[in-house]
Structure 1
Amino acid sequence: MSTIEPIPDLGGAAQPLLTVTDLAKLFPIGGGLFEPKKTVRAVDGVSFSIAKGETVGIVGESGCGKSTTARLIMHLMPRTGGDILFDGQLVGEQISMRDFRRGLQMVFQDSYASLNPRLTIEDSIAFGPKVHGVADKEARALARELMGKVGLRPEVFANRYPHEVSGGQRQRVNIARALALKPRLVILDEAVSALDKSVEAQVLNLLTDLKREFGLTYLFISHDLNVVRYISDRVLVMYLGQVVELGPVDEVWDGPAHPYTQALLAAMPAMDPDARTMVPPITGDPPNPIDPPSGCRFHTRCASAESVCSAVCPALSPVAGGEHMAACHMVIPGSGHSRAPALGEVA
């Protein structure tokens, strides 16, 4: 009897499960007889790591590079630069793409487009294990077991097709399909954004339960800040293809250090009618990624911008001496910004 064996843990709890270094994706566009080629800098030097058993959330405006980053990690598109390590092994060299794809699965936003309309729910979940050598009978038994784990009764849903179930039920199918190969890391790209709020809450609670039961690690991508705060341990904020803030979710929410993060949080709807936002916390559209601004890419929309912001690109620097980091001259000691701490101090 063939079974799917999980990718072994090589480095122990101290070694990050995923390490991304200087990840980049440039899209060349244009370029005719009299027109020079231009480049869209979709992802530009993104670096972060995910600890084993952790949930890291990625937030930012549409077009900031969240989903492109996920697709680069999954190798669904070729990257322009950067390295990806899975449990300390360089992907494609020290660990094969077949093993990497088995150890890392992805759940997409569009639950219907993610499923083959000609396959029943049972066939969809069993397909991955069968590709990896599991016998048909065992694969179907695994599929039915996972359907139960995600709250779908096999006797009711096993022989249904994707168009015969609701959006929330389809997303549960996609989660079960992702778990069928016993991954260690699951990337969730806007996995709940298309669902009704009541269904969204059910799926979020399901993800939390599955993480605990299967020992999973999540990379959770969403534009909904409330959802990210609920499910994440750490949060990564992206703007125009770059990481501008990174840290434990409560520290970032309680003390956002980057003006862009402050604007995102200030724009969140409030239940209290007396706490309505009367002045927009951020104005204008993000700059064109073909020709991004020099220095800090947010300086064209930042109320605190000074000359150093347009001249020098700030590096991710510690905030309050902890794991919280921000790419802003106002937190870098001696950066030249009038609100920056003096040399030897920490923001």
Structure 2
Amino acid sequence: MDNNKRPENMERITTAALAEKFIQEQVKEIQNQVGDKKVLLALSGGVDSSVVAALLIRAVGQQLVCVHVNHGLLRKGEPEQVVEVFRNQMKANLIYVDAVDRFLDKLQGVAEPEQKRKIIGAEFIRVFEEEARKQEGIEFLAQGTIYPDILESGPVKAHHNVGGLPEDLQFELVEPLRLLYKDEVRVVGDALGLPAGMVYRQPFPGPGLGVRCLGAITRDRLEAVRESDAILREEFAKNGLEGKVWQYFTLIPDFKSVGVRDNKRADEWPVIIRAVNTKDAMTATVEDVPFALLQHITNRIVNEVKGVNRVCYDLTPKPTGTIEWE
């Protein structure tokens, strides 16, 4: 039997009772797999890794070592938020690693999306290996792999949770969510008692803003992605779209367009806004954002984000366009 293939008779987790049944099964599986060894978890603060963390805490408690890697590709304010929620509020055993320069140096000049994903994924594992050497008894690496990651690996795009792991990987993988769709993960997160703001936080790709700063990443363009994304999230929250729209973000391509600023020609980047709704991430529809709000967001971005002179709205559903551009 293929452990990465969801059984046809597996019931969709839609209720607290079904979630609790799943949790109990996974706790037993994790305990049997891990024994008295330690588990290293890549804790990004997204819903998938947060649910894995809660499951592992319930199953093996202090045997879990959470590592939060700041690779410079997170959204504005996220590293600080992860430390606050997990270390200060959830009392997790959290190690914070500042690896910004390390990741961005490795990615310098790399334009091909799959190569970027694999560099980021491989470097993540290297960081964890280094942290593991500082610990005693770590034999397992927990990951927030979910079923769409497995389905899309290969024919569509490489996911850092599935493809691109180094050949010298020294950990056995623990992937308790690998057969669940995103909506099921949220139901399980609710049942585990995680804060609503964490459970319903919009999805974020493993490579982070690295796949939203299209082409070869530069620090100035990456910062423009981060700042424009923060404006979009702030305005969606103010206007009642936070929680209503499944995923929304900005991205910046690796080219400039001609514009006018202060009565002079200005060659600057365009920002592309993506806002979609989906149940399971396999198909997606585009959110009908009020035009006046789009105009307001555009005005803020072109005036507040350095190096941006144009804003576009992506109207493409999935299929044909995947949710992310890379």
TM-score (norm 1): 0.25
Q: When the two structures are superposed, what TM-score results if normalisation uses the length of structure 2? A: 0.26
Normalized per residue, the structure richer in helix is: 2
Q: Please identify the structure whose Cα radius of gyration is greater.
A: 1
